[in-house]
Amino acid sequence: MDFIQEQLKEEFNLKEFQVKNTIELIDGGNTIPFIARYRKEMTGEMSDEVLRDFYERLLYLRKREERKEEIIRLIDEQGKLTDELRLNIEKAVTMAELEDLYRPYKQKKRTRATIAKEKGLEPLAIIIKNQELLSGDKFSIASEYINEEKGVKTAEEAITGALDIIAEDISDNADYRKEIRKITFENGIFTSKATNPDEKTVYDMYYEFAEPIAKIPSHRVLAINRGEKEGALKAKLEIEDSGIISFIEENVIKNDSIFKDDLKNCVQDAYKRLIAPSIENELRNDATEIADDKAIKVFGVNIKNLLLQAPLKNMTVMGFDPAYRTGCKIAVIDETGKLLATTTVYPTEPQNDVEGAKKELKNLIKKYNVNMIAIGNGTASRESEQFVADMIKEIPESVYYAIVSEAGASVYSASKLATEEYPDINVSLRGAISIARRLQDPLAELVKIDPKSIGVGQYQHDVNQKKLDEALTGVVEDAVNKVGVNLNTATPSLLNYVSGLTKTVASNIVKYREEKGKFKNRKELLKVSKLGPAAFTQCSGFLRIPGGDNPLDNTSVHPESYEIAEKILNKLGYDVKNFESVDKNELVRKIRAINVNELSNELGVGVPTITDILNELQKPGRDPREDMPKPILRSDVLKLEDLREGMVLKGTVRNVIDFGAFVDIGIKNDGLVHISEMSDKYVKNPMDVVSVGDIVDVRVIKIDMDRGKVGLSMKNV
């Protein structure tokens, strides 16, 4: 195993075969969802999350090794590469270590040291640094380097210039920097102060703030960074530096030379002017990078859970996009997502046409047999909820409503995609369609929106945007491929996230479907323009064809395993052709009686693949989201004024962050369950307790009427 493979093996606690095979699969152009689902034997059943972390780390380590080669080449070109230096570079574990080793050989901009060297003061710097002169007059020695043409007019100027050279050498020393970075990280205090203490801002808790940099939580790092960016805060890394200066002095000052006091001043200058600001930048950048990664991870988990929320199937849904002056936009969609009707009603201020709005909506409910109303949670949401709750009480039909996050609906409404989907529908009405569809099939609708606009993150606009985009694309891919996609109904935006499909190929699939009619089998995919055998291998297992030629096409069994699946069915006494009509209870009983290890040996196929095939045969076409909690359906409204401390309510987790979770309990603002109120046991990470979309029981513990905020607890509920 090479250096990279060894490190990955150790970091991820993997076996040698897992590391080698996974790298081989990645380098072979296979996608993460494909590797996670269909190459379990090769990876030792690594999950998609672990595979993505593995892939990210592999890229970093390869980048680091490339940088090592580049640094060795650059130093060698200067004729300064020694065997010891080469060995140190090759052994470097982090990019910071690597750059420290390269620092003395890096081409520098004009500094005080380079100017001193131009003035011919390097020989004097060597004399001072060697500390061999224990007696004599330092000024008479320095006067030999006076050179008015080069700008050195006095002995004092010569000594000052020489000390600038030594200060830069000290600051470039990789060993010193490594130790100082360690000391600063272990003892440094991250502080922030207000730029204007009299001004009230959202950052007032950081006006007089101090916390060890080694312990500061990620969300505080990002909050302070944002406050500094907006000019409300000034942040700094502070440390008691006498120990650091003593450490440098012990390494630099060897004896009582005539330049000892000058060297002491030089050490102070090297640390305060050159090393401290540089180390502060590095550590703050590291803290920000860690905070970014954590925020991205939190956002990714929230997005995935949101995308995997249970769909409400077989329902006609009315989308209700609330507003004041411009009116509430209404869209009715049937159980397949097809638009049936749109209108605008004005039950809210300033028009307050409650009766007119009720009359119109009651007609639509009756005409289209509406079962559900999805109300957006934005402006005028609670007034609209009250209106809908009152209207429901007045009709004989059994209708419920649910509050739906409308984050990103306006982004979708004005997008090119929405224009293509609904060219004849007004932009403002498209938001209501999106809200209705989010309740009906969250995954299919939310993939149309930039994940950053979905509103379940923390500081998503402050973190590294390239990293965020890559991570979120991966998360959406994993969610889409976990669920699978109906090949005959999927939109290009959904198909685009299927393993192995590009935007062009996704569009070509829809074009082919429109021209030739529904796909009858997976093999037909190979007739789609630009979809070759490699893309077919990656995508086919994730695409479903209900009611097609082959029942296996409506499962996640990969076409490469059809022969095995058929052998298993034959062994059980079934034929694939009549598979859909068999007694499912009898089939499940027979499958559960199988000895998987024996079958694996008999067929020469790995246990994970056999297990996956058996699971699929038991529940063909099943949507894994069916196991997720269903949205809370309401028929009456709850106001902040209705709440009392001690009241127990059912709510939906809308967002999970570092310090807790926001829960929708049916009032205007989501209530906060602080991390300390999640369990009687210590909770390190809120995500260990709840996920976005979870339905939880909470107790009201605090009501702030002025700010419209509610504190909730999950303890002993």
The average pLDDT across 152-178 equals: 95
**DSSP count for the chain of H helices, then E strands:** 30, 15
State the residue for tokens 């006609």: 316
pLDDT > 80? residue 454: no
Q: How many angstroms separate the Cα of 257 from the Cα of each of 143, 165, 261, 265, 600?
A: 18, 18, 9, 14, 79
One domain for residues 424 and 356: yes
The average pLDDT across 203-228 equals: 93
Task: Determine whether 393 is exposed, middle or buried from the number of CB atoms within 10 Å of its CB (0-12, 13-18, 19+).
Answer: exposed
Tens digits of residue pLDDT in 536-566? 999 999 999 998 899 999 999 999 999 999 9
Please enumerate in sequence order all residues whose Cβ is within 8 A of that of 63, keeping only pairs 6 or more positions apart, or say none: none
One domain for residues 336 and 395: yes
The last residue of one of the domains, among 440, 464, 485, is 440
The average pLDDT across 219-230 equals: 93
d(CA 308, CA 443): 6
pLDDT > 70? residue 635: no
pLDDT > 90? residue 283: yes
Lowest mean pLDDT among 441-445, 461-465, 477-481: 461-465
User: Cα dihedral sign for 274, 277, 278, 279?
Assistant: positive
H-helix or E-strand spanning residue 507: helix 503-516
Give strand pairing partners of 655: 662
Compute φ and ψ for 200, nearest 5 degrees: -85, 125
One domain for residues 603 and 659: no
d(CA 713, CA 684): 16
Domain membership flag for residue 512: yes
One domain for residues 572 and 662: no
Q: How many angstroms separate the Cα of 15 from the Cα of each of 10, 20, 428?
A: 9, 9, 55
- 3-class SS of residue 269: helix
Domain membership flag for residue 521: yes
The last residue of one of the domains, among 43, 74, 105, is 105
Number of domains comprising the chain: 4
The average pLDDT across 83-94 equals: 93
In this prediction, residue 457 carries a pLDDT of 65
Domain at 665, CATH number: 2.40.50.140
One domain for residues 608 and 657: no
Domain membership flag for residue 279: no
Name the residue range of residue 410's domain: 317-440
Contact present, 403 and 388 (Cβ < 8 Å): no
The last residue of one of the domains, among 601, 627, 653, is 627
Domain membership flag for residue 566: yes
Task: Determine whether 169 is exposed, middle or buried from the number of CB atoms within 10 Å of its CB (0-12, 13-18, 19+).
Answer: middle
Residues in the chain: 717
The average pLDDT across 471-496 equals: 90
Count the neighbouring beta carbons within 10 Å of the beta carbon of residue 327: 20
d(CA 434, CA 410): 9
In this prediction, residue 636 carries a pLDDT of 66
Domain membership flag for residue 303: no
Give strand pairing partners of 211: 190
Please enumerate in sequence order all residues whose Cβ is within 8 A of that of 76, keeping only pairs 6 or more positions apart, or say none: none
pLDDT band at 134 (very low <50, low <70, confident <90, very high): confident
**% residues pLDDT > 90 (the chain):** 63
The alpha helices in 253-371, defined as continuous H runs, are 260-269, 276-307, 354-368
In this prediction, residue 512 carries a pLDDT of 95
One domain for residues 17 and 54: yes
Q: How many angstroms separate the Cα of 637 from the Cα of each of 113, 304, 313?
A: 72, 29, 24
The average pLDDT across 3-32 equals: 95
One domain for residues 387 and 336: yes
pTM: 0.81
Peptide bond into 423 cis (omega under 30): no
pLDDT > 80? residue 192: yes
pLDDT > 80? residue 344: yes
Domain at 33, CATH number: 1.10.10.650
One domain for residues 331 and 398: yes
H-helix or E-strand spanning residue 419: helix 416-421
Domain membership flag for residue 196: no
Chain-centroid distance, C-alpha 64: 23
Contact present, 664 and 670 (Cβ < 8 Å): yes
One domain for residues 351 and 408: yes
Domain membership flag for residue 254: no
And the tokens for 143?
A: 């006067």
One domain for residues 650 and 678: yes
Strands 695-704 and 339-345: unpaired
Compute φ and ψ for 630, nearest 5 degrees: -80, 155
pLDDT > 70? residue 458: no
Domain at 541, CATH number: 1.10.150.310
Q: Which residue type, as a one-letter code, is found at position 277?
A: P
Please enumerate in sequence order all residues whose Cβ is within 8 A of that of 338, keeping only pairs 6 or more positions apart, or say none: none
And the tokens for 193?
A: 């102060």
Tens digits of residue pLDDT in 637-670? 667 777 888 888 888 888 898 889 999 887 777 8
d(CA 232, CA 126): 47
One domain for residues 323 and 430: yes
Rounded to 5°, the CA angle 70-75-79 comes to: 140
Give the chain's mean pLDDT: 91
pLDDT > 70? residue 1: no
One domain for residues 622 and 645: no
pLDDT > 90? residue 362: yes
The average pLDDT across 298-315 equals: 86
Give strand pairing partners of 341: 332
- In angstroms, the first-to-last Cα distance of the chain is 53
In this prediction, residue 428 carries a pLDDT of 86
Question: Angle of helix 3-11 relative to helix 48-77, nearest 10 degrees?
Answer: 140
Ramachandran region, residue 13 (left: φ > 0; alpha: ψ -120 to 50; beta: rest)? left
CB hemisphere CA count around 151 (13 angstroms): 9
Domain membership flag for residue 537: yes
Domain at 416, CATH number: 3.30.420.140
CA nearest to 329, candidates 401, 433, 408, 429: 429
The alpha helices in 172-259, defined as continuous H runs, are 174-187, 218-229, 242-252
